[in-house]
Amino acid sequence: MDFVSALTVFVLAIFVGFEIITKVPPTLHTPLMSGSNAISGISLVGAVLSAGGALAAGDTAFSILGMQLSLANILGFVAVVFATLNVVGGFLVTHRMLGMFKRKD
Amino acid sequence: MSPEMVNIAYLIASVLFIFGLKGLTHPRTAVRGNFLGALGMLLAVVVTLIQGNLSFTLIFAGILVGSAIGVLLATKIEMTAMPQLVAVFNGFGGAASVLVAGAELSNTFSEPGLQTAVAIVLSGLIGAVTFWGSMVAFGKLQGIKMVPDQPVRYPGEQIVKVLLLLGSLALGAVVIGDYTAVSSYWWLVLAASVLGVLLVIAIGGADMPVVVALLNSYSGLAAAATGFVLSNSVLIVAGSLVGASGLILTNIMCKAMNRSLANVLFGGFGAVQTTSSADDVYGGKVKSTSPDELAMLLDGASRVVIVPGYGMAVAQAQHAVRDLYNILEANGITVEFAIHPVAGRMPGHMNVLLAEADIPYDKLIEMDAINPTMQQVDIAIVLGANDVVNPLARTDPESPIAGMPIIDVDKARTVIVIKRSLSPGFAGIPNPLFAAENALMLFGDGKKMMQESVTALKEG
């Protein structure tokens, strides 16, 4: 993706975000925050690519538990832990919160 | 999978995120919305995994560890600890962006394009501010001693922050100019980390709703920046959706206090001289009452409005409030809850606590909707709220809260204020409501006073 396409996607998505979120009622502001927060854990995709990438030609290899790892692999691994924590914890706690919102009947 | 197929899957994931957020616009569709968001995430990750050339050992180990911690935190934590949990999750998203950008930089062996280089710097900068800002917010909300709830202020603090930002940008310029300067990237992350700590430590507890919303926005922007690094559409879309969402919440919170974002972040209360002392306002005019008397008053009422504040969360009084609500409704009295947008420590904090106590959400009324009907309210009960019901906001243009929209409880026929003492709220000013003709103070712990009132109602 070239820069202009990426920027186009970015700007349009911000507008979509504004349009949708302004309709969220104050009652749901906390679940909105924790749910959108879980979505921002999408950096998990990038983390997975770094953690599992093959050693490149110029890489310094570290030997850990019998695996030949690059610095990018190790950083990626920690990023996978953090991002997964964000994603799994975020969606789960949002679900738990939303389960409590009931109507009068 | 071909790159086209991968990108189409990412497109579907992006659409799922949009539908997910759209679902969150109504309590009836919110559970499904959250589910759609999770489905989009699953799709994006699975597609990334199977596109080939990845070794799975580290990835699965990481996912396993992260899931275990995430599940544990999300299921075990008390609802009252929700603001700090949201802050923690948020921070880890930011940290992931820092690490991914760092990994990408250390794995770059030929001149990257300007887009990639700039995006790496931005991911590191925004991500580090998000992580450390969120950790400090967590400390403040959790009440950790090392991190005081009060704003931490010192001479020249704004200069220190500006210097840190300029230093970070200078280090960023080095990285952009020379992609082999990997150590400059980590120095940049360090400077941004200190900046994140200093930015949030200068903000007081009651301004946390703004901070939490703003950090939420940053974590999205950090993810979007990482998307620019990897030229990955789903990261850009998801990141900018969250960035927009956080910005809107931040804006709503600022408006609800009639303050600018700059004032919340860099100004704050405390500098303004109060125009009247507590003695002038309260001297001999404050009337106190008892739970028995409150029960008698409630017996004769037909419409009651309860205004909760952070004090309700501190006293864990939400279940006792539910008991009062149930007994009043059973006696045919209309009970509603008036919610100020910045009541509590995060956007929507009061709503979550009351929902946990099984109060139906259609009984929670927004400030703008309930204010015009306040004159028809027989009894308004203020439970652990202070600044958000202070009439000085309307009457005193010199007051630090001048122009802040408040819940007009003073217009109700009788106001009962449940509070431990006459101590001021976060804004540090006395509240003339407590000395008003139609106001009665019920001094004591919120939960205990609620329980005693319920007992008195049952006996009467």
Q: Where are the domains of chain B?
A: 77-267, 278-459
Q: What is the pLDDT of residues B220-276, one digit of tens each?
A: 999 999 999 989 999 999 999 999 999 999 999 898 888 888 888 776 554 444 556
Cβ atoms B415, B288 nearer than 8 A = no
Q: Where are the alpha helices (DSSP H) in B107-207?
A: 114-142, 157-177, 182-201
**Comparing C-alpha atoms, which of B126, B148, B124, B127 is closest to residue B136?**
B148
Cβ of residue A40 closer than 8 Å to a chain B Cβ: yes
Q: Binning pLDDT at 50, 70 and 90, where does residue B446 land?
A: very high
Q: Which residues of B touch A80 (CB under 8 A)?
A: 58-59, 62-63, 66, 96
Cβ atoms A81, B62 nearer than 8 A = yes
* pLDDT value of position B130: 95
Q: Is B366 exposed, middle or buried (0-12, 13-18, 19+ CB in 10 A)?
A: middle
ipTM tops 0.85: yes
Cβ of residue A55 closer than 8 Å to a chain B Cβ: no
Judge whether B387 counts as a catalytic residue: yes
Is the pLDDT at A103 greater than 80, yes or no? Answer: no
Q: Binning pLDDT at 50, 70 and 90, where does residue A104 land?
A: low
Cβ atoms B313, B349 nearer than 8 A = yes
Structure tokens at B268: 């704050």
* pLDDT value of position B273: 47
What contacts A93, CB < 8 A, 6 or more positions away?
A34, B73, B74, B77, B82, B85, B86, B89
Instruction: Give the minimum alpha-carbon distance from B360 to chain A in angstroms, rounded to a whole number.
Output: 5
Pick among 3.40.50.1220, 1.10.15.40, 1.10.10.10, 3.30.70.270: CATH of B278-459: 3.40.50.1220
State the distance between the two ends of chain B, measured CA to CA, in whole angstroms: 73
Instruction: Give the minimum alpha-carbon distance from B338 to chain A in angstroms, rounded to a whole number.
Output: 11
Q: CB count, 10 Å around CB of B182? A: 14
- Cβ distance of B59 and A48 shorter than 8 Å: yes
Q: Which positions 226-265 of B are in contact with A (Cβ < 8 Å)?
A: 226-246, 248-249, 252
- Cβ distance of B97 and A36 shorter than 8 Å: no
Cβ of residue A98 closer than 8 Å to a chain B Cβ: yes
Q: What is the pLDDT of residues B401-422, one digit of tens each?
A: 888 999 999 999 999 999 998 8
Beta strand A67-69 with A62-64 is antiparallel
Structure tokens at B56: 């799975």
d(CA B443, CA B459): 22
d(CA B146, CA B152): 11
Q: What is the pTM of this model?
A: 0.89
Q: Which positions 56-95 of A are in contact with B (Cβ < 8 Å)?
A: 56-59, 67, 69-73, 75-95
